Amino acid sequence: MIEYILPIAIAVLLIGFSAGKPYWREYQRRRIKKQPFKKEWRQILQRRFPYFRQMPSDLQLQLKEHIQVFLAEKQFIGCNGVNITDEIRVTVAAQACLLLLNRKTDYYPKLTSILVYPSAFIKSQQSSDAAGVHFVQKTTLAGESWDFGKVVLSWQDTVDGADIPNDGKNVVIHEFAHQLDQENGPANGAPILGKDHSYQCWSSVFSEQYEQLKHKVHLGLPSLFDYYGATNPAEFFAVASEVFFEQSQQLNDMHPKLYKQLTQYYHVDPIHWH
């Protein structure tokens, strides 16, 4: 009899543990949010994240709570001689958590580690041409988002992106927009939308704007969006997210339908933060 009861008991315990895990995680997060925000971290925000001073006080409080949870749950790894400090951790977390305000979040559930290089890093990738000849292609990157638990960032580009909050260029916003996009599979420019948000409308607006950008790139015309956004729909969503947070007024003036979609998705309206 025991040989039958024991496996059943173990199975019940495992099921109970799995069912209770989300509740335990939320309990832990509530405890973390109630802790005082460290004075040293506040000083880093003031120094490294001028965007913070523009935000309404309720969003500032939300952001600080998100930062606390993010730093408790994510691992930072220094690469090529980078020594991970609170300066790095808080500066990255502040920008990453900007994308989580005013909505239910699971704090980038696939993400476990942030790898930080001192500056732009080189990525080697195997490629082949039309004739089938294989070669190694090297690309210099400021950041990269992987769909299996990692974000890679250049610290210098992270600092520059935070220091100039109105140029529409922010590598952390860009890569963490990819993380949101990757929550439901490979990045494709269609993140998980809220129940009141239409995928059809999202697709229609984003497809139109993406095609317009590709047309401008082909003709060499100026654009509010970085040309890199014309690479594919996933990159367009990430580039549009950078512009949404950093050049909100220009985006609303020039592309109001796109601004509305991003306002509904991110649940914030950055125009009123200035």
pTM exceeds 0.85, yes or no: yes
Give the separation between CA 199 and CA 203, rounded to whole angstroms. Answer: 6
Domain assignment present for residue 4? The answer is: no
Question: Is position 8 within any domain?
Answer: no
Number of domains in the chain: 1
Residue 24 lies in a domain: no
Collapsing DSSP states into helix, strand and coil, what is residue 142? Answer: coil
78-109 pLDDT, tens digit each: 999 999 999 999 999 999 999 999 999 999 99
Q: Over the chain, what is the mean pLDDT?
A: 89
Residue 132 confidence class, pLDDT cut points 50, 70, 90: low
Distance CA 66, CA 107 (A): 8
Q: What's residue 128's pLDDT?
A: 54
| Per-residue pLDDT tens over the stretch 171-214 | 999 999 999 999 999 999 999 998 888 999 999 999 999 999 99
Range in 42-46, 130-134, 161-165 with the lowest mean pLDDT: 130-134
* 12-43 per-position pLDDT tens digit: 334 544 445 688 999 999 999 999 999 999 99
Query: Does residue 189 contact residue 234 with C-beta atoms inside 8 Å?
Result: yes
52-82 pLDDT, tens digit per residue, is 988 999 999 999 999 999 999 999 999 999 9
Residue with tokens 């994510």: 74
CATH number of residue 75's parent domain: 3.40.390.10
- Whether 64 is in a domain gets the answer yes
d(CA 26, CA 73): 12
Give me the domain span that covers residue 65. 34-273
The answer to whether residue 21 is domain-embedded is no
Q: 241 with 224: CB under 8 angstroms?
A: no
4 — pLDDT class (breaks 50, 70, 90): low
pLDDT tops 60 at residue 237 = yes
